């Protein structure tokens, strides 16, 4: 009985040890992945910006917003968010991985207010 209690106690004691694991990744591979994710996001934002300019109309959608449809409103929100914050998120990911020397600001940049037509893209935000 005492032996069973000791075995059971040992199992409980060590059961949580496996949850504390670390994954070590090659820094160059991680950097390449972040670069690719950034290209996908900023590329998509550039395509959506062009699509919005050519196919979305200004007006007030039923859900509230400066575009005639909620789909255009959502696309515009995506574009503005990616243009404002993609670089910050990439830098913060690199910082958290120990691959960046200078810490990014603690808070991400502000996102431009949603408006129709969209404000011009900041220089360097489109691929």
Q: What is the mean pLDDT of the chain?
A: 82
Domain boundaries, position 84: 26-96
As for how many domains the chain has, the answer is 1
Task: Give yes or no for a contact between 116 and 76, defined as CB atoms under 8 angstroms apart.
Answer: yes
Is 119 part of any domain? no
pLDDT at residue number 122: 75
Q: Does the predicted TM-score (pTM) go above 0.95?
A: no
Is 74 part of any domain? yes
Is 72 part of any domain? yes
Q: Which residue has the higher pLDDT, 126 or 56?
A: 56
pLDDT single digits (tens) 2-47: 555 455 555 544 555 555 555 567 888 989 999 999 999 999 999 9
Is 109 part of any domain? no
d(CA 46, CA 59): 22
């Amino acid at each position: 009985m005492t032996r069973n209690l000791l075995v059971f106690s040992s199992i409980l004691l060590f059961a949580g040890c496996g949850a504390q694991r670390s994954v070590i990744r090659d820094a160059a591979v991680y950097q390449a992945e972040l670069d690719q994710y950034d290209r996908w996001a900023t590329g998509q934002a550039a395509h959506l910006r062009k699509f919005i300019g050519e196919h979305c109309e200004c007006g007030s959608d039923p859900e509230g917003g400066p575009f005639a449809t909620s789909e255009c409103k959502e696309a515009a929100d995506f574009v503005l968010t990616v243009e404002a914050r993609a670089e910050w998120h990439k830098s913060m990911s690199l910082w958290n991985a120990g691959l960046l020397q200078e810490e990014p600001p603690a808070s991400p940049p502000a996102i431009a207010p949603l408006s129709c037509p969209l404000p011009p893209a900041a220089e360097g935000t489109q691929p």
